[in-house]
Amino acid sequence: MLRLAALSSCAVLLACSQGEESTRGQNELFRVRDAEFVAGALPGYKAPTTPTTTPNTHGLPTITNISLANFIVRQGQGGKRIAGQASDKSWSIGVSLKGISNGYWMLPVGDVDPSTGAFGWSGVADFDPGVPTGPQTLQMVVFDRQGRAGVQALQNLCVAGIEPDEFNVCYPNTPPPAAAISLTWNANADLDLQVVTPDGKVVSAKHPLVADPQGDEIVDPSEPHLDRDSGANCTPEGIHTENLIWPNDAPVGRYRIHVNLFNPCGRSIVPFRVAVFTSTAVGDAGREMKRSFESSGEILDVQAGPASALGMLITNYNFK
């Protein structure tokens, strides 16, 4: 059984109608599902300046553990799970994105774990496409039953753009790829990027390697490959992007670019964009991605087809 959030009632926070309650925080760039948004700065005592600093808890509960499956998220990514544990006397958790949020999101804590004496908590976060790229910081704080905030906790993460830059914004020493073909769309649907190579091989989510595989098609990130099967099974993961990436050597020859609608997921029309990127030298040893082709369009639900069939032809692109 979950505890009720200490500040979850409109009567405690401010007078509001049910309609206002349901829309509060909907325009935030960082949102937490099934949580209540509270405008204003995150309360609590400032987090310690270094990890080795022992905070003065002021007799209030604290966050004792934070768990992220991956510290990198993409602009527009949805369904990012944030979890952890909190100490005794914990009642609810406040979460915000430092410098980005105009308030914080309230989550309840779960029951105590008898083996550790800690209270578990978790939330599912969505990152708007407008969240700035680069290093960001999650701020969290625990409230007790009286609504008093303890010491804030910080968790670093990095927001990557939707462009196929191999997370260069998060790992500056990792250069962007030599070239990429990118498909993006803005709705919960299962689109597939399909690229036919000069020798006739179809690269797709089912066959993500450009080169002929030796045995199973196990993706080696150092080799040309399709990076993901986005929107598979109509999962609302929020990225809606598939990239065919050449990490090191730019391709040569004519490539046919197709878009296949595998599953419209209940939508009648799905807008999309296809772009081709090539990298150019910058400075002494750097590279940056340049868009060399772009085309936007729409695909209808009646055009849905199996993964084995080639979808709508977008262009024949010649890499030189």
Q: What is the pLDDT of residues 130-188, one digit of tens each?
A: 999 999 999 999 999 999 999 999 999 999 987 788 788 898 888 889 999 999 998 89
For all residues of the chain together, what is the average pLDDT? 86
Q: Which residue has the tokens 């910080």?
A: 154
Q: What are 272's two structure tokens?
A: 């999309």
Angle, CA of 110, 111 and 112, to the nearest 5°: 120
Q: Which residue has the tokens 């600093």?
A: 53
Tens of pLDDT, residue by residue over 97-134, are: 999 999 999 999 998 888 888 899 999 999 998 999 99
Give the whole-number percent of the chain exceeding pLDDT 70: 88
Phi and psi at residue 97, in whole multiples of 5°? -105, 115
pLDDT reading at 194 higher than 50: yes
What does the alpha-carbon distance between residue 224 and residue 247 come to, in Å, rounded to a whole number? 6
Provide the pLDDT for residue 161: 85
Which of the pair, 318 or 212, is modelled with greater confidence?
318
Count of CB atoms situated within 10 Å of the CB of 74: 23
Count of CB atoms situated within 10 Å of the CB of 150: 24
Q: What are 175's two structure tokens?
A: 């250069």
Which of the pair, 273 or 167, is modelled with greater confidence?
273
Closest CA to 90 of 117, 62, 113: 62
CA neighbours within 13 Å on the CB side: how many for 171?
A: 11
**Could you give the residue ranges of the DSSP H alpha helices within the chain?**
10-13, 18-23
Q: Residue 183 carries which side chain, given as an amino acid letter?
A: L
pLDDT reading at 13 higher than 50: no
What does the alpha-carbon distance between residue 49 and residue 121 come to, in Å, rounded to a whole number? 24
Pairing state between β 72-74 and 153-160: parallel
Out of 12-21, 83-92, 309-318, least confident range: 12-21
Pairing state between β 312-319 and 253-263: antiparallel
Provide the pLDDT for residue 11: 32
Tens of pLDDT, residue by residue over 195-252, are: 999 999 999 998 999 987 655 567 777 899 999 899 898 987 778 899 999 998 889 9
